[in-house]
Structure 1
């Protein structure tokens, strides 16, 4: 009888698929590993949240773990996972050395979500009113930590082709350590398409995004102060509905119904509100990764207008689901045209469906991903031997982080 292999996922937070694209991405990965026959345990040091998904119906075991505590060593040794998936590099920093020490034969996989050093370097360049260059990522302090984490892991899952190329060319990361795995979606069938609301059945503009994410807050400010006044002047009866989880007081204060600018907060059903909107506006001025809000727009048959950063790595060689521009006037004129011209709108909608079906259909990736994991597990000693810098970093990190963590643990025990 074949022994069931265990996958341990260590989460930065508990998955909230209705709050962020990262939550949805995590559920997609859970499904992939379950299809490969893994029993899954999801552990996190995060507090429970009101909006976290219930893992029990998904046949995923939930475990709370503590930072800087040797109780994790006992837990992971008893679990003895075949594969450990770290949710973002900060989690690998905290727990990677403990996994390496207690379960040396476990395959260590990092899900990057997006490149933090890229996002933060772009954000810094924007706030300093200068043009971003790729070399800015090298100067970003977090890059040293993030790249070290990628090197220590056996494989890093990348959601963006642009970011994969950046890692290979700018940071000289070996291609064998990286694997392109974007959102894994169900293709949009003709039957699903026919159920979508028509052009005439839809009204108004929408923005949607988690407000704990700085690029989203900045985009809403940009809409309120610059884009929406221009658009409202041309379409005086139009409304913009802004949805997003965790809105702060400064977000709520932007609510101006008389100006057609409505702050709605968390959407109970994101699909419903996006399907009922005619256009998604996403003027993102910095960021990284693949934008969940724009994928969601395509799935809902809702054309979008975004920036080059918003659309980065999303469409391949296919035409966009609307318009892509960094110019304010073009952005506004494109929004007005898309809102009023049914032919242009329908073409944009069809473009979005083509992008989903041709670039994100999970059937394209499932078998290859399963094969990649299996091959790596079968050849792990040689794979690690080929990754000398990873072994070097693992050696020094294990030593330095281990003693820092032990010191914190001892300090905490004295308080108790």
Structure 2
């Protein structure tokens, strides 16, 4: 026992020495944050997350990997750090994209310092606010001039508020207007995380407007960072594809509650209505982390409802179907499955939750008075249906009407090219990051709320992280 305690104290002493050396280097070099006139070319950016970035498992992972690649192409040195163990395949794909990887257990200051390395960093991107809570205080202590960027992915507080509204019986049209209030704990944590950061990346323009107009976040701290998609070759979309395709498809990781709920509602209420009118129709369900419990609950091949599992080839899974069915009753952010369908020439039927953020003139939340979200109004299918019967009617209409289907898939491809261009969106996001990195002093001098949250009386996340480390290891680095 005494030997273990001595060993722990020795490790803590070595960690403190390394921190003092790192701070000394930071004082001498500007903490790497001063990249100067060269912009961010040659700068070091570190992506910090709980799980390994996995483009094959979710649309969020694909979006982050696209951002990693964009940083590499801009000439930045990229390092990806995750708290999870394992992940050999994911780490290999990140390294193939040009990044280096390292593991750092959460709430371990010494491990984080080792993972990032002696050279430090110019910028850190936190994957969701939980990673920012766990690691931002250590980053600030070790590399005070490194820009801290929060990548929200979606608003967790908004998603959970909508889940509560859905559970209380609201339909998808009502749920889309549900919002957390200022006393909601998830909301407080997420807003505080945004405020502590130098910049927050917001996936959906709808959420950005909400954060700025209703939550009081300074617009200078927010940057829309939706999806980064390669251009769709519209010339290859042919009406002849209609006869080559058949049936319906849906996709989404089963680690995400809105997706599981969507499949449950699809299986129990929507699909029987579709099969009444299309007795030979098939519904193929793809998704990562599908378990035997999910199969036992939903798989029903006799009625054309098949749980396939993980999609090894997303294009193959999507391109054989005419319609993507995504009856989401709650959720937040832009839905990657909708963009994936349009890239494959597949029309979409979804709720206002599923179509949110994909209409160019969208103003806050969709309402009954809003312009219809359908093929006649420039959308890639039907995106404002809310009841099981409305979804089934739209699904049958889109599946059976060649002209409507062709117009929908053309609209969808045009939306991808107009709103989600990889070339334009990655460049815009990196320009915003470059501005923060190269003007870090000015950014922080103007950020009164953010800097006040780093006052010692408000640094609860830092001390909570240190308490966890002390409880679990007996030392505090």
* TM class by smaller structure: over 0.9
Match of 2:194 among 117, 141, 150: 150
Task: Return closer, same or farther for 1:17/1:137 CA change in 2, 3 Å cut-off.
Answer: farther
- Contact 1:274–1:297 (8 Å) recurs in 2: yes
- Contact 1:117–1:137 (8 Å) recurs in 2: no
Structure 1 distance, partners of 2:184, 2:73, is: 38
Counterparts of 1:73-84 in structure 2, within 5 Å, are: 74-75=113-114, 76=116, 78-84=118-124
Partner of 1:386: 446
Q: When the two structures are superposed, what TM-score results if normalisation uses the length of structure 2? A: 0.82
Partner of 1:126: 166
Structure 2 distance, partners of 1:81, 1:32, is: 17
Partner of 1:161: 205
- Contact 1:45–1:66 (8 Å) recurs in 2: yes
Structure 1 distance, partners of 2:112, 2:301, is: 54
- Contact 1:121–1:137 (8 Å) recurs in 2: no
Task: Return closer, same or farther for 1:188/1:169 CA change in 2, 3 Å cut-off.
Answer: same
Can you give the 5+ residue segments of structure 2 that lack an aligned partner in the other structure? Answer: 1-37, 362-376
Partner of 1:20: 58
Match of 1:201 among 221, 239, 244: 244
Task: Return closer, same or farther for 1:204/1:73 CA change in 2, 3 Å cut-off.
Answer: closer
**3-state SS, counterpart of residue 314 of structure 1:** coil
1:81: how far off?
0.5
- Contact 1:18–1:51 (8 Å) recurs in 2: no
Partner of 2:78: 40
Partner of 1:369: 429
Partner of 1:71: 110
Structure 2 distance, partners of 1:358, 1:236, is: 38
Indicate the structure (1 or 2) with the bigger Cα radius of gyration.
2
Structure 2 distance, partners of 1:180, 1:235, is: 41
Structure 1 distance, partners of 2:124, 2:111, is: 13
Partner of 1:289: 333
1:3-49, Cα deviation, whole Å (9 max, x unpaired): 83211110221122111001101111112211221111100111224
**3-state SS, counterpart of residue 315 of structure 1:** coil
Task: Return closer, same or farther for 1:368/1:293 CA change in 2, 3 Å cut-off.
Answer: closer
Structure 2 distance, partners of 1:185, 1:73, is: 32
Deviates more, 1:403-412 or 1:274-283: 403-412
Partner of 1:230: 273
1:214-245, Cα deviation, whole Å (9 max, x unpaired): 00000101111100001101000111111111
Partner of 1:115: 155
Task: Return closer, same or farther for 1:341/1:53 CA change in 2, 3 Å cut-off.
Answer: farther
1:345: how far off?
0.8
1:267: how far off?
1.2
Structure 1 distance, partners of 2:59, 2:134, is: 23
Partner of 1:323: 382
User: Do structure 1's residue 344 and structure 2's residue 388 form an aligned pair?
Assistant: no
Match of 1:62 among 81, 91, 101: 101
- Contact 2:180–2:187 (8 Å) recurs in 1: no
- Contact 1:19–1:51 (8 Å) recurs in 2: no
- Contact 2:234–2:410 (8 Å) recurs in 1: no
User: Do structure 1's residue 267 and structure 2's residue 347 form an aligned pair?
Assistant: no
Structure 2 distance, partners of 1:347, 1:104, is: 53
